Amino acid sequence: MQTEIEKALTKSREKIMAPDQFDNWIGTSQAGDKLIYYKGNLSNDRHVDSISRGVWDDLEYSDKRKLIKKLNELADHVMNRTAKWIMNEKSTTIAMKGRVTLVQKKHFYKDVKDRPQCYYDYIAVRT
């Protein structure tokens, strides 16, 4: 059994944006426009071990793997399209490329067992 929020997150995960949709948004958006390109927890949801942790419990294993692959493609594309990685021997930093700023908005809720949970809106803001 899922809470209403968990049901909404499951639906959101099943409709993962394609990388070219993100590019299209960048090309057509104007300063101040916002796009929620994912709802969930990317650090958990995009790894294969999330399958054993109960993410997407209502899906078959092969479907979960396909969604994880699609989510990885989107997350990698968004970072590569909007950020420049600066790496040297001492540190790694990320500089935004300028047209888009990435923001996370954290939401809290309680699951069906009344345990505190959270998820994020992953938002791109056109600058």
DSSP structure string for 3-18: -HHHHHHHHHHHTPPP
pTM: 0.82
- Tokens found for residue 112: 């069906």
User: With left for phi above 0 and alpha for psi between -120 and 50, is residue 98 left, alpha or beta?
Assistant: left
pLDDT of residue 87: 82
Instruction: Indicate whether 67 pLDDT > 70.
Output: yes
Instruction: Indicate whether 66 pLDDT > 90.
Output: no
- Tokens found for residue 92: 């790694």
**Whether 74 contacts 37, CB under 8 Å:** yes
Instruction: Indicate whether 118 pLDDT > 80.
Output: yes
CA distance 13 to 10: 5
What is the rounded average pLDDT for all residues in the chain? 85
**Whether 127 contacts 103, CB under 8 Å:** no
Q: Which of 127, 121, 113 is nearest to 54 (CA)?
A: 113
**Whether 45 contacts 35, CB under 8 Å:** no
User: pLDDT digits over 26-54, tens only?
Assistant: 999 999 999 999 988 888 888 766 655 55
CA distance 109 to 66: 27
Q: What is the mean pLDDT of residues 94-106?
A: 88
pLDDT of residue 3: 80
CA distance 3 to 22: 29
